[in-house]
Structure 1
Amino acid sequence: MASPKPVTHVIFDMDGLLLDTVGICLECQNRILEPLGHSLSWVQLMAQMGLSATEMCQNICQDFHLEITPEEYKRRLALVYPEVFPKSTIMPGAERLVRHLHKHNIPIAIASGGAQDSFDLKTTNHRDLVSLFGHVVLASSDPEVTKGKPEPDVFLVCARRFPDNPDPSKCLVFEDAPNGVQAGVAAGMQVVMVPDSRLSSELTKGATEVLASLEDFKPERYGLPPFDD
């Protein structure tokens, strides 16, 4: 792993990092695919995580040779979301870290590959936590984000929207997916990866640090205020 350098700003991914939504995302995909005679594995889903919704739907339709358009696939997904996404729960260590950084006036933001409608559903029961972030950039809805992860766009746009427009090298990214790590590195940022335990170690390369949980993060390693307890 690379040697951590001091940072001033922090950017969080959301799915699988702040909120435990990956399993829910997989359920949604398979509700659409199974009637069509297909199923998506967890490994296949992880290869798509971080892409914009349009890119993901295009890839799935192409990979499974579906006879419906990506637009129709996306429409069918949207019908499932209201039932399942409000059940999303907070990942271990996430709330403690976010509240700690906010308390110490560290600028924080969210940069996700998702869209506004699904974001609103996922955060239905977590509005208080989301309110602590200075801003949120959603690759599938934001007109300034032309490409989803692993391209760096969403992180670069997110960094520019901090009031003081920090250099990307001063931003620390938290990610769980390989596409997100690649995007953060391409943006010139350090990346702390918190991957699912099932993910191959080969897919964690590029991260500054790899943790089993956000509970294991040591802010002082990056020049941030240490936890009080």
Structure 2
Amino acid sequence: MTTLKELRSASHVIFDLDGLILDTEKLYTIVANAILGQYGKSFNLETKLKVMGSTGLDMAKQVVELLEVPLSPEEYYEQVKKEYQTVMPEAQLLPGAAKLIEHLHSNNIPIAIATSSSQVTYDLKTQKHKELLSKFHHVVCGGSDAEVKNGKPAPDIFLVCASRFSEKPKPEDCLVLEDAPNGVEAALAAGMQTIMVPSVEVPKDIKDKAHVVVASLEQAPLELFGLPAIEKCRCKDS
């Protein structure tokens, strides 16, 4: 764990979805390469770091421009959505996600999700996990929510998400859990603290922007933010 900034207590927790709760980042790469391979292109790490956390059409615009794909953003995104129908329903939970969500919920800590996905895509990839995700107070789908005017790294989605809690906390009272550089930037722009859990190899200068960096949600140091600590398993291997 790396702690990089002075920390303060938080009362509400906002989760990203892709690459944090759900193991979808590898699925996005599979989809992108299935399409880009037709044009002799590949979805490299440099491109991935730039588009992670973007809404669907924003992602498509950046990919088409950065990789010089001979498609319009709309054409590329339509192909992406078609591939999602097959791939995304297989999305699995990442290590520690269920335990952390259940821990916060059982301790009556208000939690919500702020994802750049559209509602349609969110429903597609979460269909196997409805019971767990029902523990969240609300979900904001930035790709289709009319109140989210600008996608990450703009702060809009996190500010909208905070405003929909019953208690309407101030931004500085919110802790954001994110895996993507754009998501960390958005949380900081919103005036919120961040725990970064990188889902891909991320350069040090990007990690340095987060308040805390850990390798997985199992290591999330909630106690540093005045929240109930996750109980550590003391079980021996069988």
Give the structure-2-normalised TM-score.
Answer: 0.93
Find the counterpart in structure 2 of residue 25 from structure 1: 28
Determine the C-alpha separation between the residues in 2 that align with 1:52 and 1:82: 17
* Greater than 6 Å deviation, 4+ residue runs: none
RMSD (Å), alpha carbons? 1.2
Deviations 1:57-90 (A, max 9, x none): 1111122223321111111111111111111111
Amino acid of the structure 1 residue aligned with 2:152 = K
Q: How does 1:159-178 map to 2 (within 5 A)?
A: 159-178=162-181
Q: Among 203, 209, 224, which residue is 1:200 paired with?
A: 203
CA offset at residue 138 of structure 1? 1.2
Q: Matched residue of 1:192: which SS? A: strand
Change (3 A) 1:197 1:116: closer
Contact 2:35 2:80 in 1 (8 A): yes
Q: Which runs of 5+ in 2 are unaligned?
A: 233-238
Q: Among 108, 121, 125, which residue is 1:122 paired with?
A: 125
Q: Which runs of 5+ in 1 are unaligned?
A: none
Find the counterpart in structure 1 of residue 15 from structure 2: 12
Q: Among 38, 42, 67, which residue is 2:45 paired with?
A: 42
Determine the C-alpha separation between the residues in 1 that align with 2:45 and 2:99: 28
Would you say 1:215 and 2:205 are equivalent positions?
no
Deviations 1:161-186 (A, max 9, x none): 11111100000000011111000000
Determine the C-alpha separation between the residues in 2 that align with 1:63 and 1:207: 26
Amino acid of the structure 2 residue aligned with 1:98 = I
Amino acid of the structure 2 residue aligned with 1:83 = T
Determine the C-alpha separation between the residues in 2 that align with 1:227 and 1:215: 8
Contact 2:20 2:199 in 1 (8 A): no
Q: Greater CA deviation, 114-123 or 196-205? A: 196-205
Find the counterpart in structure 2 of residue 185 from structure 1: 188
Determine the C-alpha separation between the residues in 2 that align with 1:116 and 1:159: 18
Amino acid of the structure 2 residue aligned with 1:4 = L
